[in-house]
Structure 1
């Protein structure tokens, strides 16, 4: 009886701590959503209160107007084009490379795989300047290409994720497909891809999040307002020389959270399945 009572109190304590941590993590988002309905002058004056004194729904319409005749519809469209294309490129390139490392035998395979993994240790800031010089010489600055094309050349993290998932699949499936006359690419497209769907969705979701939040890349490569993404456009609300429309900024920031949240809740079961089954077999 003593052990049962101790276990119950311990479980209750853990659940209480999880609730406290969850509330603390969600509070900034709740505060931002509440501030999007306040007058701009009252955002920080009544920062302690989550309930606005006067609900101002016009902040969303004011923020949606954007800047210089460019509405936030354009910024959202630019972001969706970049994100969807980058996700497609990541899935295609990383799945092909992962299949090659997991199933194809070739010379110096260990060396090339080690080289790919070493790129994970390379900080992104180191390659930022050389990449900008290359893209500038190619005339890609002020286009979406610098934010899209690199995704078609693979990512070490996703290659490793997908490769570990492919290794959990029995090799007998490949041999059976070969006996039936299936080519190497046929095995990849008809056998491997359908079976690694959870890992592919997991990689797509992570790439979606990272591309959606890519502020620095969009800032240095996109110099024209009509090409701005949502993350860069939100920064334009801050104007130290005159005044910042905080309410409109928070309103558009709230709208920018909707796509990532929807993606997470729709595909969350694939995230858990993809991560939990990755790395079970070395």
Structure 2
């Protein structure tokens, strides 16, 4: 009994430490600027609900526009990553072709390459294409299976699917396309859901590429727009900024909850190893 109480106490302390920054941000979104700097408690002395109204309407464009831009880019990235990485992973995991091991090794090697090294050549390339200040540089590369982490994730998952299923499908006359469509694709749902979750979260929270490629205010996404609450002199509308930061977490939270259910269901119904 004592051990159980001690474990629960430790878990409560860990959860409180992890959630404290989030709770503090929510509390700060309801404080006045003066109280944010003077009151270290997570509970406001006086609730300032106007922070949400100011944050939503105080910029030159209604903040909902930035939510729409982020949603379009994030959902397009999710679709592009899921389709392209699934196809690439199927080729590496189940098909036989010359140079497969070499190409797979090169793909894994790209994980060691810092993303910032590619920013300048990619910017010059997309500038020549006329894609600057459009969502295309943020979405089109994802259609080419450039996210090696997700390809590797799906390859490892597919390698765990018994090859006897492929052989049985071949005996029934299925070609590689039909094997992919009717065998691999339904069983790869857990890996697809994981890819979708991380693609959405990473894209929604991404800042640097969106700052580089999107120049017009009307094209800004939520992470870039949050910086608008700090002006060139260093003065900030910190209350409205916290309020919009809280709202920016809601789509990520809801997306994760929806897909987490599908992830658990997929894992429970895909136990084919062994």
TM-score relative to the length of structure 2: 0.92
What does the per-residue CA deviation read over 1:168-220, in whole Å, with 9 as the maximum and x for residues that have no partner? 11112122222333222121122111111011000110111110011001101
Deviation at 1:274, TM superposition (A): 7.7
- C-alpha separation in 1, matches of 2:86 and 2:58: 39
Deviation at 1:45, TM superposition (A): 1.4
Contact residue 189 and residue 263 of structure 2 kept, 8 A: no
- C-alpha separation in 1, matches of 2:138 and 2:19: 30
Alignment length (residue pairs)? 271
Alpha carbons of 1:19 and 1:176: their partners in 2 closer, same or farther (altered >3 Å)?
same
What's 1:104 paired with? Answer: 95
- C-alpha separation in 2, matches of 1:226 and 1:211: 18
What's 1:116 paired with? Answer: 107
- C-alpha separation in 2, matches of 1:157 and 1:13: 38
The answer to whether structure 1 residue 160 and structure 2 residue 152 are counterparts is yes
TM-score relative to the length of structure 1: 0.89
Greater Cα offset, 95-104 or 266-275:
266-275
What's 2:31 paired with? Answer: 38
Deviation at 1:126, TM superposition (A): 1.1
The answer to whether structure 1 residue 179 and structure 2 residue 148 are counterparts is no
Give the unaligned 5+ runs of structure 2: none
Greater Cα offset, 108-117 or 236-245:
236-245
- C-alpha separation in 2, matches of 1:254 and 1:239: 20
Alpha carbons of 1:178 and 1:115: their partners in 2 closer, same or farther (altered >3 Å)?
same
Deviation at 1:59, TM superposition (A): 1.2
Deviation at 1:88, TM superposition (A): 0.4
What's 1:59 paired with? Answer: 51
Give the unaligned 5+ runs of structure 1: none
What does the per-residue CA deviation read over 1:125-166, in whole Å, with 9 as the maximum and x for residues that have no partner? 111111111111111110001111111111111111111111
Alpha carbons of 1:201 and 1:139: their partners in 2 closer, same or farther (altered >3 Å)?
same
What's 1:253 paired with? Answer: 245
Q: Cα RMSD over matched residues?
A: 2.3
The answer to whether structure 1 residue 223 and structure 2 residue 188 are counterparts is no
What's 1:264 paired with? Answer: 256
What's 2:70 paired with? Answer: 79
What does the per-residue CA deviation read over 1:31-66, in whole Å, with 9 as the maximum and x for residues that have no partner? 1111111112221111x1222222121211111115
What's 1:232 paired with? Answer: 224
Alpha carbons of 1:110 and 1:149: their partners in 2 closer, same or farther (altered >3 Å)?
same
Correspondence for 1:151 among 136, 139, 142: 142
Alpha carbons of 1:12 and 1:215: their partners in 2 closer, same or farther (altered >3 Å)?
same
- C-alpha separation in 2, matches of 1:274 and 1:146: 32
What does the per-residue CA deviation read over 1:68-94, in whole Å, with 9 as the maximum and x for residues that have no partner? 2x1111100000000000010000010
- C-alpha separation in 1, matches of 2:184 and 2:58: 45
- Which secondary structure does the structure 1 equivalent of 2:133 belong to? coil
- Which secondary structure does the structure 2 equivalent of 1:53 belong to? coil
Correspondence for 1:131 among 108, 122, 132: 122
Contact residue 126 and residue 137 of structure 2 kept, 8 A: yes
